[in-house]
Amino acid sequence: MKKTVIAFACGVLVTLAAVTAYDAVEHVERMPDPSEASISMPLASYEAPEARVTQGKPNFRGTAYATSADGKTVSGIWAADGPSTFDWTYAGDEAVYIQEGLAEVSYQGRKFTLKPGDHAFFHVGTVATWTVPQHVRKSWTVHGANRLVRWWRDMTDGA
């Protein structure tokens, strides 16, 4: 019995080491080359789907400037001009940091104002209503939550 347990534990450790090594190699192979110079990435304008806009005609601009090696995490800059109100459905877990302006946000039964220096986090699949009186600019990072995380949040009402 003792030999079986030891053999099983060794098998688990070897498997974990192999998976870790594989992930490390994949990460290194997919990493972009280090920067050798600055790269200009102006914010590009785009139209918001009309179903999301509830008031005004916002001027949305944005760009993604970094993607993780596995493609699951993306970061960028986004801006909107108002006055406008719109619903935003989150396609992934999103962390935002406000750089300029302000936005009034209604999210999961709470209302709060985001201003320069403020940070907020939004879960995948949820909807927030943003009201932009004049202008807001944020940096954002979206991480794709896996199915297990989504299932757990659904089961625990932790959306």
Amino acid 45: pLDDT: 93
Domain presence at residue 115: yes
Q: What percent of the chain has pLDDT over 90?
A: 51
pLDDT digits (tens, 9 = 90+) for 85-119: 999 999 899 999 999 999 999 999 999 999 999 99
Q: Say whether both 116 and 93 belong to one domain.
A: yes
Amino acid 28: pLDDT: 67
How far is residue 159's CA from residue 152's CA, in Å, rounded to a whole number?
9
Q: Say whether both 25 and 48 belong to one domain.
A: no
**Domain count of the fold of the chain:** 2
Domain range holding 17? 1-31
Domain presence at residue 130: yes
Q: Say whether both 94 and 117 belong to one domain.
A: yes
Q: Is the entire prediction scored with pTM above 0.75?
A: no
Q: What is the CATH number of the domain that holds 135?
A: 2.60.120.10
pLDDT (average), residues 54-72: 90
Q: Say whether both 52 and 120 belong to one domain.
A: yes
